[in-house]
Amino acid sequence: MTDFAGEGDPMPDIAMETPDGGSVKLSDYEGRKLVVFFYPKDNTPGCTTEAKDFTALKPQFDAAGVALLGVSKDSAKKHQNFIAKHNLRVDLATDAEEGGLSDTLGIWTEKKMYGRTFMGMVRTTYLIDADGTIARVWNKVKVKGHAEEVLAAAQAL
């Protein structure tokens, strides 16, 4: 983990690609609370459930003045398909550049599964306050009930 990964630290402001080919940085949300949820891969069971759970709660996040941004290393085209297939209403971004936000935060890391070693995203969620400071971090997230827990923390912030 890096110096930026902890509660009370400023969230790094690194540009990422949006599904429409544009660019988004966390400073684009300045003055608003923001939830950034990092997930491994579009259209996999856990990641789909997580994105759909955040989508279902988006009206409550909006009412609390909290923006939502899902981030993976998937391409903009894969994000477009993911959004269309599951009718997602949360913003997504691609963090595919080496040295990007997930690298800086230390959540793009070596993983092991079934005796195989590979690089992968650790499912992690950050709640960022309106001035860009990390208010809360959920590491190695379990999907069931996670969006609701994040909503409660965001409403209390």
Catalytic pick from 5, 26, 47, 105?
Answer: 47
At residue 2, the pLDDT reads 43
What's residue 8's pLDDT? Answer: 86
Decide if 150 contacts 125 (C-beta within 8 A). yes
Q: How far is CA 152 from CA 89, 106, 116, 117, 147, in A?
A: 19, 26, 37, 36, 9
The Cα 24–Cα 71 span in angstroms is 11
pTM of the model: 0.91
Rounded CA-CA distance 24/21 in Å is: 10
pLDDT band for position 4 (cuts 50, 70, 90): low
Domain spans, the chain: 16-156
The answer on pLDDT for 1 being more than 70 is: no
pLDDT tens track for 102-155: 999 988 888 887 888 878 888 999 999 999 999 999 998 898 999 999 999 999
Determine the CATH number of domain 16-156: 3.40.30.10
| E strands present in 10-152 | 16-17, 23-24, 33-38, 66-72, 91-94, 108-113, 116-121, 124-128, 134-138
| 27-57 pLDDT tens trace | 999 899 999 999 999 999 989 999 999 999 9
47 is catalytic: yes
